Structure 1
Amino acid sequence: MLYPMSPKVAELKRKLESFMDRNIYPNEERFYREAEELGPWKVYPVVEELKPLARAEGLWNLFLPDSRHGAGLTNLEYAPLCEVMGRSHLAPEVFNCSAPDTGNMEVLERYGTEKDKERWLKPLLAGEIRSCFAMTEPAVASSDATNIESSIVRDGDHYVINGRKWYTTNATDPRCKICIFMGKTDPDNADRHKQQSMILVPMGTPGVEVKRPLPVFGFYGVPDRASEVVFTDVRVPKENMLLGEGRGFEIAQGRLGPGRIHHCMRLIGLSERTLEKMCRRVRSRVAFGKPVSEQTVTQERIAEARIMIEQARLLTLNAAYAMDTVGNKVAKAEIAMIKVAVPNMACQIIDWAIQAHGGGGTSNDFGLTQAYATARLLRLADGPDEVHRNQIARFELKKYSNA
């Protein structure tokens, strides 16, 4: 192995896999049923039942490099654990390692005041509440975050917030108590990257209205609780400003780096699970006188899937190593590359698995449609493919600026 696991990580992985076998996979059908029957405005009982079990086994907040509250793992150490959790939509929240809470907890840990940490970070770390992150807007092309139009205006000892956001994950969850909101405090600043700020908005503040859940390929609540939220003359204390006015992009870059790599780690696990389903399916089905697994096109797809997963994993581990050794800012190219490569890899493998399952693959019975919704969503979330490709190209061209 190019990146061997330490004994600590190997033991955590063993415990995690055991927990998945005993508690996650047997409860997936129930999880999807509860999500469908209860909808995105409710808490799913199966999740709340499993959280205490995970915490009791020490499988809690594994993402957090801060050893006071988490496992104290590096990005490279966390990668194989995150991959295991990514095999099931049910798993990440059970271990308190799901987006957007992970990114929001890291923001609060880095930039929040002691009061913020006591009021919001502490219950988030305990899994008692959830949070949301409000950045994307329906009225502008939010792939360019400088387009964001929501306003944050100082009024004495308060800020007044106005804006319409969507794809605000978690907002419909009744446990969602705090929002990290991105808007403009200085829209006329010549530096477009210093116009924005981030501020904490308690969800119970007057003027915050969760308008509706947004389906992802028809799924409400799975893979996430995407939501549209309107903020109308929302007043919060000036102390709720994170880091200071004009620092929103700085915070966003610190937040999105780990978030992007975590998504990729989970997608590798989801792709592995999908390939397993595909192999089991084709070995059990006979068409035109022989098992589907003996059809050449099937074997080619299985081989290509294995190659693609291994390539994606190595690329992701390399990005994790770079983040740990030179920092997120220097590792921007590595992060951008995996954010393009991994979701595209997952989409292709899931598509092949759907094909191998025949008509049944398009139903919800095999978890493939849910998996595809996740993978396809992640070609847009945290920056679309096109933005990351442009960034990678600029990094590459810069090497030849004096040529």
Structure 2
Amino acid sequence: MHFTHSDKTKDYLARLKTFMQENVYPVEEQIYAETHQLNPTGDWQNWQVHPLIEPLKNKAKEVGLWNLFLPDSTLAQGLSTLEYAPLAEEMGRCGFASEIFNCNAPDTGNMEVLYHFGSAQQKEQWLTPLLAGDIRSVFGMTEPDVASSDATNMQASVEIDGDELVLNGKKWWTTGLGHPNAKLAIFMALSNPENDKHNQHSMVLVPLDTQGIKIKRMLQAYGDYDAPFGHGEMHFDNVRVPKDNLLVGMGKGFAIAQGRLGPGRIHHCMRAIGMAEKALELAVQRGLSRSAFGKPIIKLGGNGERIADARIAIEQSRLLTLQAAWKIDNLGVKNAMVDISAIKVAVPNMLEKVVDMAIQIHGGAGMSNDFVLARFAAGARALRLADGPDEVHKAMVTRLELAKYK
């Protein structure tokens, strides 16, 4: 097992870095600031995408930096999970960069679901416009009235009624629901309570303009609505869709989810490593450029050792994540479960500590919107809950470790 980047990855990474340097970083702060001005409240129905985003997306398409995540050389660039990982890291240095290359969550995971599990008709209707970047999608799983750390608690329901499926229930923290281009939800719910607990749930494709769907609100995360993406609460009241909108079959929801979450967690974690690299870079620059008590602040209060600790932690996290990516590519998701769960714990916790260190070195400025650090801090904390809390992933690692001794 080795992690030397393939020639293909080296080429894409060089081109991606050049694109970011020439097109993204020069307008990064402008886009952040003006996006808040365009979307000052939680009124998601009037949210707008910054006008520079679409031209950047078109430019990325033109130069072949589009759909980098999908391992299909016909529909995308044909990069494996391991080959894509360093590209995700580079995108992670800027909060909106993934959207520019059509590599943003939750669309990547939803596209992978459609690619691997969708019917020909489902792919034509939904995967094609998603790959083109014409629409966005959301994934409805977490619910407000149950402990969603145990996904088998889901109360939302799917029932068959003739040639239709009838959907009821509540979902929240549905990322991307406020985006003006959000058109599709993948709705996961209880469908077969008579089965064993991991064969009771189904996934259904639901157009967001279907009668009976009510978007109640966007939730604030650390006081921010994350416009124009949003994290919404939606209610389903006798929502009816054709039975053909079912993915794979009744009771197959968890089997689909296993395939969705493996690569997706690599993407999340590599983006987080990119954020950590950016935070460390800012900390070093600040520490070298500011002085207090007659010394550069990098030489005060153990800050030098904190820089070393951050570098060590980032390298450890990157190697663990690349190992997980290698195992997914070569051994399959089932044989990478320890690594997938381990990175989901290790990387967000690492990011939290590195960003917190960088904020401390910046002083009050670190908490302001003058730097990306406050946004990174909120993202790091959220990532310890997204796709399952730390405790769930630790329980998975424990279970698989103890199984060796049976």
Q: TM-score range by the shorter chain?
A: over 0.9
Cα RMSD for the two superposed structures: 1.3
Alignment partner of 2:178 out of 169, 172, 177? 172
Partner Cα distance (2:296, 2:180) in 1: 48
2:264 is paired with a residue of what secondary structure? helix
The two structures have a TM-score, normalised by structure 1, of 0.97
Is residue 268 from structure 1 mapped to residue 311 from structure 2 by the alignment? no
Cα displacement (A) at 1:119? 1.1
Corresponding residue of 2:335:
330
Partner Cα distance (1:218, 1:32) in 2: 16
Corresponding residue of 1:162:
168
Alignment partner of 1:84 out of 69, 84, 90? 90
Corresponding residue of 2:24:
24
Contact 2:212 2:238 in 1 (8 A): yes
Contact 1:86 1:265 in 2 (8 A): yes
Partner Cα distance (1:389, 1:35) in 2: 37
Alignment partner of 2:387 out of 379, 382, 386? 382
Alignment partner of 2:69 out of 63, 84, 99? 63
Residues 2-401 of structure 1 correspond to what in structure 2 (within 5 A)? 2-39=2-39, 40=44, 41-187=47-193, 189-221=194-226, 224-401=229-406
Gaps in structure 2 of 5+ consecutive residues: none
2:54 is paired with a residue of what secondary structure? helix
Partner Cα distance (1:226, 1:319) in 2: 28
Cα displacement (A) at 1:195? 1.1
1:85 is paired with a residue of what secondary structure? helix
Runs of 4+ in 1 over 6 A off after TM superposition: none
Contact 2:189 2:201 in 1 (8 A): yes
Partner Cα distance (2:32, 2:326) in 1: 35
Gaps in structure 1 of 5+ consecutive residues: none
1:167 is paired with a residue of what secondary structure? strand
The amino acid of 1:294's aligned partner reads: K
The amino acid of 1:249's aligned partner reads: F
Task: Tell me the alpha carbon deviations over residues 20-51 of structure 1, each in whole angstroms, 9 at most, x when there is no partner.
Answer: 11111112112212331222532222221210
Cα displacement (A) at 1:271? 0.4
The amino acid of 2:371's aligned partner reads: F
Cα displacement (A) at 1:277? 0.4
Contact 1:64 1:72 in 2 (8 A): yes
The two structures have a TM-score, normalised by structure 2, of 0.96
1:70 is paired with a residue of what secondary structure? coil
Partner Cα distance (1:44, 1:119) in 2: 27
Partner Cα distance (1:234, 1:38) in 2: 32
State, as a whole percentage, how many aligned pairs show the same letter. Answer: 55
1:219 is paired with a residue of what secondary structure? coil
Contact 1:30 1:46 in 2 (8 A): no
Contact 2:216 2:235 in 1 (8 A): yes
